Structure 1
Amino acid sequence: MKVKKIVLTGGPCAGKTTALQQIEREFTEKGYHVLIVPEAASILIGAGIRPFGPYIMDMAEFQKYVIGLQMDLENFAEKAAESETNPSLIVCDRGILDDRAYVDESDWNNLLHEFKVTNFDLMNRYDLIIHLRTAALGKEEYYTLDNNNARTETPSEAREKDQKTLEAWLGHEKVKVIGNEMSFQDKIRKVVEEIYRSLEKPYPLQIQYKYLLSELDVSKMNEIQFVKLELEQYITEEDGKETIYRKTGRGGEEKYTAITKMDTDINHERITTSRLITDVEYYQNMPPKITPIRKTRYCFEYQNQYFRLDIFENGLQLLEVEPTTEKQPVTLPDFVTIEKDVTDDTEYRNSSIFYQLNSSIQNKIKKYRPTI
């Protein structure tokens, strides 16, 4: 049975402890076997193994122990989940990529080499990343470290760690940022809501807005932290199923994914499943003479919202954003100029763009050529 594995992360004093308790209670009542993977760093610090204080340890060495323990704890949880007959939900109190926020790039690359993994390998361990903003961002009056003896950050340090932790996860396909513009209870409810959506359980449809850009201020954009991905994908159809085969590249690393979409008769829902594949399977399933979509994707956070900017080979620029609440207005980055809202325009879907590229092979779209 499919096991969902979720990371609950964020800055110090963000509400993780409360959220974890609510998650365990909520989904246990719904019949899930909920496994909470504790924060590895807190375990080590509580045992006297720490990168601060009188018996200080080098931070890179400490993070090596954290990663090793985290991997073991997650592996134990996965083994336990496999023996369950009921559906299982693994929730990690921080994920391995959190550790990237505490070391410099050189030390991080050394850690990747030591554990024989890539950044993609670490991202692929998890289905969903939920990042809770620290109370030091917008709710300073509630900032406290009384509930965690392993933490010593000042509000300023908490804000810095919060941002670095979020940046470590940029590029993951499912990152949800939950800020402090709502009440604390609404913040916790938002966490639960995002997990329901990840489990594909009945819940209000996720809102996603898409915009066609007329201009992009590259110099301003370069002032923010982003992850750059190179994407190539093609689509096949068989027996009522549409499968998107995708190659994702980042800094010399590559991963291959197959995403299958199928309409059902249950409330007219569309089921989407995703799996990792090999490069061999990716190229073997590519139809002859097909032209894949090729685009560069920039993933970044702006005003507690997660954006994806796609720039296609032909110059087409599309910006997507998923607001954290239905009533929350979208705050667009100041380095983009919007030509129009294309949220409901089917011509700007990836499938439409793909079929237009291959209209001589699969005549799915009558006409499509957006003006940049």
Structure 2
Amino acid sequence: MGKNYEIERKFLVEFPDVSLLDIKRRIAIVQTYLKSGSNGSQRRVRSVDENGSVKYTYTEKIFLTHVTREENESEISGEMYHQLLAERRGDCPPVEKVRYCFDYEGQLFEMDKYPFSDKLAIMELELSSPEQAIDFPDKVRVIKEVSDDPRYSNAALAAAGAFPEQQIGE
């Protein structure tokens, strides 16, 4: 398997009226974290439901910087998915989210909405370089960048069951 590098920036946003966006895909995701790999990699499995068609993936990530990581992902069978669930981390509940994929000015954004918040979401954009300029959608209010804040990782959000802003009574 060749090395795949992912450069991604993440932003905390106000969840917009999605009817105003050019939504290409709406995907229900259940993401379960597994015990770390022998090389310290983060491992996970996903059940991905798009229009009633369910696929399963296995991913291993090695974090190089806060925006760059080596990522290897492959599709797996339902049987393999259920076998791997036995290796799940006890300290991290599965992450449930709905991902909205939409285009804006030639950029493909992914916005994840979690069941614990109607007001906030995480919006991500994969980049060709860490310095790439981003043209933000005018229908989405960006609150702040959270690429290097571990409190906004999927694992941390699932464990807390809330965004950090909700934990301080906002």
Bin for the TM-score computed over the shorter chain: 0.7 to 0.9
Equivalent residue in structure 2 for 1:237, among 35, 39, 58: 35
How many residue pairs align between the two structures?
157
Indicate the structure (1 or 2) with the bigger Cα radius of gyration: 1
Q: Deviations over 1:14-47 (max 9, x none)?
A: xxxxxxxxxxxxxxxxxxxxxxxxxxxxxxxxxx
Match of 2:93 in 1: 291
Match of 1:322 in 2: 126
Bigger relative contact order, structure 1 or 2 (CA pairs below 8 A, ≥6 apart):
2
Distance 1:263 1:226, change over 3 A: closer
Aligned-pair identity (%)? 26
After TM superposition, list the pairs within 5 Å mapping 1:186-335 onto structure 2: 199-200=2-3, 207-221=7-21, 224-238=22-36, 239=38, 240-262=40-62, 271-286=70-85, 287=88, 291-315=93-117, 316-324=120-128, 328-335=132-139
Rounded Cα–Cα distance in structure 2 between residues aligned with 1:369 and 1:209: 18
Amino acid at match of 1:293: V
Match of 2:164 in 1: 369
Between structures 1 and 2, the one with greater helix share: 1
Distance 1:336 1:328, change over 3 A: same
Rounded Cα–Cα distance in structure 2 between residues aligned with 1:343 and 1:332: 16
Preserved CA contact (<8 Å) 2:6 2:69: no
Q: Deviations over 1:238-288 (max 9, x none)?
A: 433431111111011011011123579xxxx96432222222222333249
Amino acid at match of 1:246: R
Match of 1:18 in 2: none
Rounded Cα–Cα distance in structure 1 between residues aligned with 2:104 and 2:129: 15
- What SS does the corresponding residue of 1:281 show, helix, strand or coil? helix
- What SS does the corresponding residue of 1:285 show, helix, strand or coil? helix
* Unaligned runs of at least 5 residues, structure 1: 3-198, 358-366
Rounded Cα–Cα distance in structure 2 between residues aligned with 1:312 and 1:263: 24
* Unaligned runs of at least 5 residues, structure 2: none
